[in-house]
Amino acid sequence: MIKQISHLGIAVKNLEEAREFYHSVFRLESSDPIIGGDGTIKVSMVKVGNVLIELLQPFGSEGIMAKFLEKRGEGFHHICYEVDDINAEVASLKASGIEVLGEPRPGAEGTSVFLHPRGTHGVLVELVEKE
C-alpha cells in the first residue's frame, strides 16, 4: 500500500548548478551529493516539507540517466512512492499485469524498484521501502 510520495526525480546536467539554484532561488538546502545507480549517477536531495526533490546528474557518459538527458534533456524524470512492504507490492503489481523493471534493490533511500511507464500512464514510477 502506498504511504506517501517520497520524492520527485529531476534530471539535471550539472548537479552543483541545480543545488545552487534551489538554494539561491527557493532558499532550500540540499544534501551532500552521493554516487548511486551502480556508479552512474550523482544524487542530491532537496527537502520540501515532507517530500524530497531528488536531483539526478549522470556520472560519466554511460547509464540510464546519461541516455535520458541526451534524449529528453533536463526535467522531470520520475515519481517515487513510499510503501510498507516492497516485495508484497511487486508481487501484487505483477499479478495485475504491471511491468516491473528488475527486482527490488538498494537505492538512495532504501530498497526500491521501478515500474515501466507503459503501465503507469506514461510516468516512470519508483517504489521505495525506506530503511
Q: What is the pTM of this model?
A: 0.92
Q: What is the mean pLDDT of residues 68-78?
A: 96
* Bridge-based pairing state of the strands 75-83 and 125-130: parallel
pLDDT digit string, tens, across residues 103-131: 999 887 899 999 999 999 999 999 999 98
Domain map (residue ranges) of the chain: 2-130
Contact assessment for residue 43 and residue 56, using Cβ atoms and an 8 Å cutoff: yes
- Assigned CATH topology for domain 2-130: 2,3-Dihydroxybiphenyl 1,2-Dioxygenase; domain 1 (3.10.180)
